[in-house]
Structure 1
Amino acid sequence: MGLIHGMPLAALAQEFVPPQRGLPGRRVGGGTRGGCIAGQTALTALMPESNLSLTVSERPDLFWYLPPNTAAQLEFTLLDANDQEVYKTTFQPDETGGIMSLPNPTDLPALEIGLDYHWYFAVICNEQDRSADVVTEGWIQRIEPDTALTQQLETATASDRPALYAAAGIWQDALMTLATLRQSQPHDADVARAWTVLLESVNLGHLADQPVVPCRSNRHHGAIAPESF
Structure 2
Amino acid sequence: MKPILEVCDLTKRFGGLVAVRNVSFSVRRGEIVGILGPNGAGKTTLFNLLTGFMAPDQGSVEFNGKPLQKQPPYRVVNMGLARTFQLCRPFVGMSVLENVMVACYSPRGARHGTTHGESPENCSRKILGDVGLGHKIDMPAELLSYGDQRRLEIARALATEPELLLLDEPFAGLGSSEIEPLSELIRHLHRERGLTILIIEHKLREFMQLVQSVIAIDFGEVIATGSPEDIVRHPKVVEAYIGKTEADLGIA
If the length of structure 1 is used for normalisation, what is the TM-score?
0.29
- More relative contact order, 1 or 2 (CA 8 Å, 6+ apart): 1
If the length of structure 2 is used for normalisation, what is the TM-score?
0.27
Determine which structure has the larger helix proportion and give its number: 2
Instruction: Give the greater-gyration-radius structure (CA).
Output: 2
